[in-house]
Structure 1
Amino acid sequence: MLRHFLLGKIHRATVTRASLDYVGSITLDPLLIEAAGFLENEKIDIYDVTNGSRLSTYVIPGIPGSGEVGINGAAAHLVDAGDLVILAAYGWMSEEEAQGRLPKVVFVDAQNRITSKESQERTPAVANAFA
């Protein structure tokens, strides 16, 4: 049996632009794409922390080092420039495959520059319990 697991995520990125006049997708700085383990044209989910919207789209690379998180097409009705978003990719794998695999979790600052990369996340209460 295959199950669905988190492969990678970018936590609380700031949307740099939202453009309705585009075919669709999300444009990301390739440095963010690589750090999260995303692939070009891969389906990802967008969770808008600012307004609660949730949607799926696909990744296209922007300019390296730009910090771009650009929302394109119809998604620009749901996500605005300046919103905080979580971007996540998932994949199907067996329990055996999942045992040795940890997701790539990328934390960024307000300019979408990478501040840290982790292989797991815990809520503060749980993290403190393990300290």
Structure 2
Amino acid sequence: MRTMLKSKIHRATCTGADVDYEGSITLDPVLMEAADILPHEQVHVVDCNNGSRLVTSAIEGTRGEGEVILNGAAARLVNSGDIVIIISYKQLAESEL
């Protein structure tokens, strides 16, 4: 098995950070659908402003609002207004490559 890039949301602007919410990243469902990210799917988040990288799960926000909100401990690594890349992966057998 190899872990391969499945999709990414490139250079999105973080619209909020909520340290008091359970850990996750809240995303507009429109963005999730465009990037083929399902609710509760594991994603990697890279902050282009400060270089921090983290792994969390995606949850749906309000459709059409453009939300990209880091929650819980992740909110200490990414600030509102930061540019982020949200990445999802999938595992493929060698025969699928």
Out of 32-41 and 88-97, give the one that drifted further: 88-97
By how many angstroms is 1:96 displaced? Answer: 2.9
Superposed CA RMSD: 0.7
Partner in structure 2 of residue 112 of structure 1: none
By how many angstroms is 1:10 displaced? Answer: 0.3
1:85 maps to amino acid: V
Tell whether 2:40 aligns with 1:41. Answer: yes
- The runs of at least 4 consecutive aligned structure 1 residues that moved more than 6 Å come to none
Partner in structure 1 of residue 31 of structure 2: 32
1:35 maps to amino acid: A
- Mapped to 1, the partners of 2:94 and 2:85 lie a distance apart of 25
Superposition pairs for residues 72-83 of structure 1, below 5 Å?
Answer: 72-83=71-82
Amino-acid identity (%) = 54
Q: Aligned with 2:21: secondary structure?
A: coil
- Mapped to 2, the partners of 1:44 and 1:15 lie a distance apart of 15
By how many angstroms is 1:95 displaced? Answer: 2.9
Aligned residues: 97
Partner in structure 2 of residue 7 of structure 1: 6
- Mapped to 2, the partners of 1:24 and 1:83 lie a distance apart of 18
* Unaligned ranges ≥5, structure 2: none
Partner in structure 2 of residue 20 of structure 1: 19
Partner in structure 2 of residue 65 of structure 1: 64
Map Cα deviations across residues 15-42 of structure 1 (whole Å, 9 max, x no partner): 0000111111000000000000101000
- Mapped to 2, the partners of 1:3 and 1:32 lie a distance apart of 26
The two structures have a TM-score, normalised by structure 1, of: 0.72
- Mapped to 2, the partners of 1:9 and 1:48 lie a distance apart of 13
The two structures have a TM-score, normalised by structure 2, of: 0.97
